[in-house]
Structure 1
Amino acid sequence: MTSRLARTGLALAAAATLTAGLATPASAAPAPKPFPDCSVGWACVFDLSRPVAEFAAVPSGQCATFGRQFNQIDNNTEHYQRVWTNANCTGTNVLIRYYEKRGFDMILRSVGGY
């Protein structure tokens, strides 16, 4: 009887080892990206994560509008940019650092250089 219990114990241990070896670890889901990809050297604006425009950095003293509002920017350039609530670079504004990605709870309509 002892040898029978020993064989049963060994069989159970072997089965547990085999099962553990076959089990696949739960893979973690990739972290969601806050913004779609924007090419290096360009700035991109998005409306609810939908692309609106991809553009070169707006030079200081100039203003760019895109015909659509936006609420996110991916400044993938080496230059500061400033986003504005009005289409002519007036109104409330926020300075965006170089290589900064940022979303807003307000509607934006233009980008100016800094």
Structure 2
Amino acid sequence: MRVGRRIVAGAVISGIMLTGSATLANAQQADSRAAGVTTLSVEGEQGISAIIRAIKKFGAPVWNKCVTAVKGGWHAFKKWYDGLPAPVRWAIRAASPAMDLYEIFQALSQAIG
């Protein structure tokens, strides 16, 4: 296995470990921008509660910035998300594999208010 693939695989596994357990049966292809990285679906609850838990696992500062970004609108949220470290982004995506980023934003918008 090439070093680049090991790093990507390790980062994906780290993200999954931070968001809970996963099964290979729930494997889904990640966003096309992820350059062929496969993400694993988290068992159990999906949706907004899983997304919120995934974000909060990285600490209150990350969650607080998320809330501010969501209240600032789509462009502020996109800028916040793009500025996150890759493992945090992967954890969010692993918690919501069936949703695209805009759907995640809309769900968080409704939950946060």
Q: TM class by shorter-chain length?
A: under 0.3
Instruction: Choose between structure 1 and 2: higher strand proportion.
Output: 1
Instruction: Choose between structure 1 and 2: higher helix proportion.
Output: 2
**TM-score between the two structures when normalised by the length of structure 1:** 0.24
**TM-score between the two structures when normalised by the length of structure 2:** 0.24
Higher Cα Rg, which structure? 1
